[in-house]
Structure 1
Amino acid sequence: MALLRNLGTTLGKWTGRPAARIDADAGDPDVRRVREAAEAADWATVREVLEARPESEDRTGLLWAVGDVAGAERWLAEATAAEPDAPLPRLAAAVRHIGWAWEARTAASAKHVSREQFRIFHERLDTAETWLYEVAEREPEWISPWYGLQITGRGLQVGQETARRRFEAAVRRDPHHLGAHQQQLQQVCEKWGGSHEEMHAFAREAAFGAPGGTPLGQLVALAHLEHWLALDSGPDARYIRQPQVVAALNEAADHTYRHPDFAGGPGLLPLHNTFAMAFSLAGDTASARECFRATEGRVTEFPWNYLDGSDPVRAYTEHRARAGR
C-alpha cells in the first residue's frame, strides 16, 4: 500500500495533477480540530469548536466527527454528568451513541448480525433517541437533534410516516439543510422501503425547489448513483449512460456548483466528488473532468466506496485518469 501511495505521488508530479488522497475532513478544517480534540478526550476544546459553529451554519459534520471517535462515550458521559442541564454535551453524547450503535451492529448484512449484536445496537440507539428528544425540547430551534433522529429512526425502523415527520421537523428549522435531505433520500430509497420513482421525485423536488447555487442539486446525482447501485452489472451501466440521465445530471450541476450564486466553502468537497463519480460513470468526460479539477485530488470516502470499499482512492484515481484529468 505504501508503494502505491508513493507511486501516486510520483505520477502526480509527472502529470501535473495533485496526488489523490483521502480527505476525511470533507474540506472543513474545523472537522480535524474537533476530531483531534475528541481523540484526546479534550471536552473543553470540543465544546469550543462546537459553540463557534452555530446551528444556523450547520454543525452536524463537526458533531459526527466527534461521534466517530472510539471510546468518546466514556468522557462524554462525564461531561454530561457534570452539566446535566446543558444541551450540548448531551447532544454530543447522543451522536456518539449512534456511531457506537453501528460499531456493535457492523456493516454486515442482517443475516450475519447476531441477536446479541442487534440487542446492543437497538439499546444504544434507544439511548440516543431519548437524549436527542431531550435536546430538541431544550433547544427547539436546533436542527442537529432532528438530523440525529432521522438516523436513529432508520436504524430502529420507525416507518416511513414517522421518518417523514422527523425530516419535516428538521427542514422547518433549516429548509435547505443538505444532511437532512440526504437522510430523507436514503429513507425513500428502494433498499429502505421506498422506490426508485419516489427517490428521484424527492431529489428533483428538493433540488429545484431550492434557490440556484445551494448544494441540494447533489441529491439528483446521489439518486442516480443509488439507482445505479441497485442494478446488476451490465444493466447498471446502461441505466446511468442513458441520455436522459446525463441530461438530468447536467441540469442539476447547472443549478448547483455551476450556478453564479454558488458560494462554495468548507464542507462541499463531497458534492464535487459525488458529481465526479456520477459523470464519470455516465460517460460525460468533460463534466467529470470539471469536477475532478475542483476536488484537487482530495477524495471523500463516500461515494467512491460504492466502487471500491477497500480503496476509494484507487477508484477515484482510475476514473480521474479516464477523464483525462
Structure 2
Amino acid sequence: MLDDAVEAASRGDLRPASAVLADSRGDPETRSLRVEALSRTAVGASRSIEALLAHDQGNPDLWLWLGRTRLEEAWELRPDVRARAVQADRLHAYRSAMDQARQPLLAAAGLAPGDPVPWECLMWLAIGLDRPRPDKDAVWYECSRRWPALYSGALARLITLSPGWGGSAQEMLGFARSAAAHAPEGSPLPALVPMAHFEIVAAGRTPMSRGGWFSFEAQRDIVSAAGHWAERRIGGAHPRSVEAHNVFGAAFYLSDLRRPARGHLARTGGRFSRLPWSHLGDPAQQYRRACARLNL
C-alpha cells in the first residue's frame, strides 16, 4: 500500500496517500513510517496538500502530512554547520520554513489527541530549531506518554541527547540501553544501541571512513543489543524492522563481522534507511557498496 501511494504521490496524485494515512489511525508505528515516507516524497509539493486541506479542514491525517512535509522541506534548506557564518540568509530561510511546520502539527495533535506521531514530528522540529532542553523534554514527554515504545519517537529522543546536538555520549547511551532493556517483544528498540554508537563516532570525525569505526567495547555492546532483539512478533514483522536491520547490518559491516552483517542486510529486502548510512556518505550508494562487498 505504501509503495503504491509513494509512487502515486511522486506523480502528483495524492489521493492514495490520503487513504493510506487514514488506514494507519490507531497504529502509531505504521502511521509514523507512512507519514515519513510520504512526506519525503512530497517535498516541494506541500501546496498540493494545502489544497486538499482547503476542502477537509477536520482531517488529522492531512494536517499531519502537511506538517511533516514542511519539516522535510525545511531540512533541505539547512545550511552546512561549517559555513553558517556566510549563509545568514539561508539560515533565516531554514528557520522560517521549519517554524511553518508547527501550526499544522499542533492542529493534527488537537484533532487526534491520542496520536503520538504529531508529537514525534514536533520533536524533530525542536531539534531543527535547536530549542532549549526543557522544550525538547516537554515534547518527548507528550510523545512517550501516548506510546512509550514508538521507535521513531525514541530515535528522535536519541538524536536530542546526542553529542552532535548538544547532549552527551553518556546520557545518550544510557537512554539507548534502557530502551533496549525494556523493549516490548518484537520491538526493534535494541537498534538504538548501535545507532547511539554511530552518533558518538560521527560527532568526532569528518569525513567518515570504513576503518576504525567502533572500539572493541562498542562492538561488544552492539553484539549484546542484537542478541536482545527477537524479531518475532504477534501480527507480523514490526514496521521498523527493515530500518533496524539496516542499523545492525551497517554496524557489523563496519566492524568487519561479516556473518551477522550479511544476516541483517539480507533481511532488508533491498531497502535502505537514511540512518545510519548517511554517516558514511550517500545512503543509497553506501548501502549498495556494503551489500556488494558482502556478496549480497
TM-score normalised according to structure 2 size: 0.87
Residue aligning to 1:252: 225
Residue aligning to 1:51: 22
Contact kept, 8 Å, 1:146 with 1:170, in 2: the verdict is yes
Deviates more, 1:211-220 or 1:77-86: 77-86
Q: Quick one: distance in 1 between partners of 2:86 and 2:8?
A: 32
Structure 2 counterparts to residues 67-216 of structure 1, below 5 A: 67-68=39-40, 69-105=42-78, 109-111=82-84, 114-216=87-189
Deviates more, 1:223-232 or 1:91-100: 223-232
SS at match of 2:54: helix
Contact kept, 8 Å, 2:191 with 2:247, in 1: the verdict is yes
Residue aligning to 2:196: 223
Contact kept, 8 Å, 1:67 with 1:95, in 2: the verdict is yes
Contact kept, 8 Å, 2:119 with 2:139, in 1: the verdict is yes
How far has the Cα of 1:239 moved from its partner? 6.1
Q: Quick one: distance in 1 between partners of 2:233 and 2:59?
A: 38
Q: Quick one: distance in 1 between partners of 2:89 and 2:209?
A: 38
Per-residue CA deviations over 1:201-260 (Å, capped at 9, x if unaligned) read: 110011112234211011001011112223348999556141x22221121111114x65
Q: Quick one: distance in 2 between partners of 1:303 and 1:174?
A: 24
Q: Which runs of 5+ in 2 are unaligned?
A: none
How far has the Cα of 1:267 moved from its partner? 3.9
CA separation of 1:170 and 1:236: change in aligned 2, threshold 3 A: same
Q: Quick one: distance in 2 between partners of 1:100 and 1:219?
A: 26
Q: Which runs of 5+ in 1 are unaligned?
A: 1-29
Structure with more relative contact order (C-alpha pairs < 8 Å, separation 6 or more): 1
SS at match of 1:299: coil
CA separation of 1:56 and 1:297: change in aligned 2, threshold 3 A: closer
Residue aligning to 1:292: 265
Contact kept, 8 Å, 1:221 with 1:278, in 2: the verdict is yes
Supply the AA of the counterpart residue of 1:240: F
Is 1:60 equivalent to 2:41 in the alignment?
Answer: no
Residue aligning to 2:10: 39
Supply the AA of the counterpart residue of 2:17: V
Q: Quick one: distance in 2 between partners of 1:65 and 1:232?
A: 29
How many residues of Structure 1 are paired with residues of Structure 2 in the alignment? Answer: 292
Residue aligning to 1:240: 214
Per-residue CA deviations over 1:283-310 (Å, capped at 9, x if unaligned) read: 323221221332344433432232232x
Structure 1 residue corresponding to 2:276, chosen from 287, 303, 309:
303
Deviates more, 1:105-114 or 1:185-194: 105-114
Deviates more, 1:107-116 or 1:285-294: 107-116
The alignment's C-alpha RMSD in Å is 2.7
Q: Quick one: distance in 1 between partners of 2:80 and 2:9?
A: 24
Q: Which has the larger radius of gyration?
A: 1
Q: Quick one: distance in 1 between partners of 2:291 and 2:108?
A: 43
